[in-house]
Structure 1
């Protein structure tokens, strides 16, 4: 039987993930607080300028589209219990590249088409790595702490325990009892013609129950 404290911990973990999933789409619409066609947006401690994008609302809309995508991929990575989840780091890398490309274009007005050579040879690649590497370590750390992988190990332990119990029962089965049951079964087959179907079936079930481990 599973420890209720473990169940409570897993419930809290799943509740946190559920709340994040519910709130994530709403964060996308934060760009709507910016006035339409505004040339800058001042929130006291930070002034947002759209640069070459002309309007702040359009600039933030582009950023939040990518942030939402990274958020969805990150939740998928953290909650996934399969080893193939590390493939998700590649699209996360590409989305970080897109975000930094948007910011770079806003500041410099240079929009370089994506290609492997332009990515590796440019300074933008090192900017991406400065974001991607720490972010990857954070995701892996959270994934380990969330412990979704443990679900598979728990199921394997249960299966192994059942197998061990069955093997132990088989090892305790007496060969003399088997020979006696086998003898009774042969005798029952000989008496089959003198018995009706119901009596024969009841006798077979009685022998089967004795063979049950």
Structure 2
């Protein structure tokens, strides 16, 4: 009996330890976003940026500092939205896929030095995703309000019922693939 209690205590401590580590990493990323966003200010305003690690040719962007500003303005919101998506416990969290895919598309486009018009074609890419996500969110909402009218549950209890609670990030990823 004593061994079972010690074993379950160690398992709980390992879960808490892992949760604390993941939470610390996520919090550090979120807190450091203003610093990451302002990193472009340390890049020189030249076409070719030489460092001891690499040489960056800004190409289409004409200035390395401007190129880094474009990259950070696309990647920082993408990182924050992705964190929000994987940590959100509300029934509507699938709606976050739309801006995530938009920023991912724009980030990929911004790396293409021949991209004359950066945001061109975003709607065409987002349209199939919107066709899937918007009706599914509406159906979940309609199902919730149908249950509200038929059952004496609060909105919070219904949100709890519709919440998907995977045990970790990998299980949450597996649920989509």
Report if aligned partners of 2:56, 2:64 keep a CA contact under 8 Å in 1. Answer: yes
Report if aligned partners of 1:24, 1:71 keep a CA contact under 8 Å in 2. Answer: no
Q: Which residue of 1 aligns with 2:169?
A: 143
Q: Which residue of 1 aligns with 2:121?
A: 114
Alignment of 1:1-213 (within 5 A): 5=13, 6-35=15-44, 37-104=45-112, 107-108=113-114, 110-111=116-117, 113-114=120-121, 116-117=123-124, 119=125, 143-144=169-170
Q: How far off its partner does 1:57 sit?
A: 0.2
The CA RMSD over aligned residues, in Å, is 3.2
Partners of 1:51 and 1:70 in 2: CA distance: 24
Bigger proportion of residues as helix? 1
Q: How far off its partner does 1:78 sit?
A: 1.8
Report if aligned partners of 1:28, 1:64 keep a CA contact under 8 Å in 2. Answer: yes
SS of the equivalent of 1:108 reads coil
Q: How far off its partner does 1:83 sit?
A: 4.3
Partners of 1:16 and 1:58 in 2: CA distance: 29
Q: How far off its partner does 1:8 sit?
A: 4.0
**Structure number with bigger Rg:** 1
TM-score by length of 1: 0.48
Task: Note the residue ranges of structure 1 that are not aligned, 5 or more in a row.
Answer: 121-139, 147-213
Task: Note the residue ranges of structure 2 that are not aligned, 5 or more in a row.
Answer: 1-7, 127-165, 173-177
Report if aligned partners of 1:40, 1:49 keep a CA contact under 8 Å in 2. Answer: yes
Partners of 1:55 and 1:145 in 2: CA distance: 42
TM-score by length of 2: 0.56
SS of the equivalent of 2:92 reads helix
